[in-house]
Amino acid sequence: MQSSHDLSPHGRIAVIVNGNAKSVTDEVLATLDEILQAGDLYVSRSIDEGTAIAKTVIDRGYGTVLTGGGDGTFTNVVTQVVKLSRERGVKPPRFGLLRLGTGNALSWVVGSSGRKGGLLAADVLRLRDEAGARPLRLVECEGILGPFCGFGTDANVLADYHRVRDAFKKLPVPHRWVAGAVSYAVAATTMSIPKYLVNAIPYVRVTNIGDDAWKIGPNGRPLDRPIRNGERIFEGKARMASCSTIPYYGFGFRVFPFADERPDRMALRINTIGSVEFVANFKPIWRGEYANSTTLFDFLVDKIRIELEPPTAFQIGGDAMGERTKVDVALTEPIELVDLYAPPRA
């Protein structure tokens, strides 16, 4: 078995946690420090710290990097480490996820389970000693790599969540209100849902700027001829236009049921579902089983341009990015993802 303090290039494991995540407590840090025992625990609280840590990861030749703090932390770490690897012409390390943040879509893909104590320790030990790995492509937008990105309802909730969280930080309220479920609930009920009901629906144009794309039916099979480079994939009003290489958002919400259909394509989902339709079909929508050819549209693509009018909230990897009117989204080359569901290492 390899340990975290095996100094061979492929044996060392770095754990990078988001020091701002509400679940990264002193107990969690103590647990991780005890397991690693070799100075391989890094706590990042800012972009500058994250950049310095990424440089250290490359300089020290870690074979595996585990991130703790949610999908946004994973996105930030992978983006910085892969960027430096490309600049230096070296192979990036394997990446894995510890379930410590608010959003944990990837934990549903790789089998991560625990937040603290024994569950967290078990996850680290299994990822270190037993887990295999599999290739995973990501979406790339504005130089950022993540498992998903998009416009619409999810991005609006994230933007409102950040506004509420920042407001709570200025008030003498319990720390647990600042991040997590309380802030999300306040943001959704007082800001996102009212806007969803009264705001105009954005006008969306999606153009294929890559290889052939396909519109997909409920069974995951192409419905029409390929959509060629330069052709319009979709045009009209839509409440969401999002891309992903994994099926899930956080909490097991299966937003992209066809993300695994082809390894050389990412899923594009566009919907015009209204509030009444959403509430009436909540369970099948959550499970990724709902189909309506007039309000829900799925495609497999590798590079697209999304244009919107008016400016609309945008998110990458669960992090709110502000409003945009145009973005290009492309499928990346694969990274190696440590996966408890993959065959174990020899």
DSSP string, 139-186: EEETTEEESEEEEEHHHHHHHHHHHHHHHHHTSS--HHHHSSHHHHHH
Of 130, 159, 177, the position where a domain reaches its end is 130
Which strands form 94-98's sheet, in the order they lie side by side? 41-44, 13-18, 64-68, 94-98, 335-339, 132-136
* Same domain assignment for residues 328 and 225: yes
Residue 153: inside a domain, yes or no? yes
Count of H-run helices and E-run strands, the chain: 11, 17
* Dist CA 315 CA 309 (whole Å): 17
* Dist CA 331 CA 195 (whole Å): 32
Structure tokens, 240? 């969401």
* Dist CA 156 CA 196 (whole Å): 9
* Same domain assignment for residues 150 and 59: no
* Same domain assignment for residues 297 and 206: yes
Residue 139: inside a domain, yes or no? no
So what's the pLDDT on residue 232? 98
Residues of the chain with pLDDT under 50: 1-10, 116-117, 346
Residue 233: inside a domain, yes or no? yes
CATH number of the domain that residue 101 is part of: 3.40.50.10330
* Same domain assignment for residues 298 and 156: yes
So what's the pLDDT on residue 180? 59
Residue 177: inside a domain, yes or no? yes
Residues paired with 235 in a beta bridge: 205
Domain that holds residue 99: 13-130
* Same domain assignment for residues 174 and 314: yes
Residue 338: inside a domain, yes or no? no
Q: In this structure, is the dihedral angle defined by the CA atoms of residues 324, 84, 73 and 71, taken in order, positive or negative?
A: positive
CA-to-CA dists, residue 72 to 87, 103, 281, angstroms: 23, 8, 29
Residue 8: inside a domain, yes or no? no
Structure tokens, 252? 């097991």
Residue 340: inside a domain, yes or no? no
So what's the pLDDT on residue 162? 67
* Same domain assignment for residues 188 and 79: no
Of 130, 158, 193, the position where a domain reaches its end is 130
Interior CA angle at 77 toward 75 and 81, to 5°? Answer: 120
* Dist CA 187 CA 143 (whole Å): 28
- Nearest-Å Rg of the Cα atoms of the chain is 20
Residue 209: inside a domain, yes or no? yes
Structural contact between residues 130 and 116, judged by C-beta atoms closer than 8 angstroms:
no
**Residue 38, Cβ neighbours under 10 Å: how many?**
15
DSSP 104: -
* Dist CA 75 CA 313 (whole Å): 18
Q: What are phi and psi of 216, to 5 degrees?
A: -115, 140
Please state the domain count of the chain: 2
* Dist CA 304 CA 165 (whole Å): 33
* Same domain assignment for residues 238 and 298: yes
Structure tokens, 309? 């009018």
So what's the pLDDT on residue 325? 96
CA-to-CA dists, residue 105 to 2, 69, 247, 318, angstroms: 28, 12, 9, 9
Nearest Cα to Cα of residue 60 among 14, 24, 28, 18:
14
Contacts of 36 (CB under 8 A, 6+ apart): 4, 5, 13, 15, 124
DSSP 56: H
* Same domain assignment for residues 328 and 179: yes
* Same domain assignment for residues 257 and 221: yes
Write down the pTM of the prediction: 0.83
* Same domain assignment for residues 28 and 152: no
Of 96, 130, 164, the position where a domain reaches its end is 130
* Same domain assignment for residues 325 and 208: yes
DSSP 191: I
Q: In this structure, is the dihedral angle defined by the CA atoms of residues 308, 163, 69 and 88, taken in order, positive or negative?
A: positive
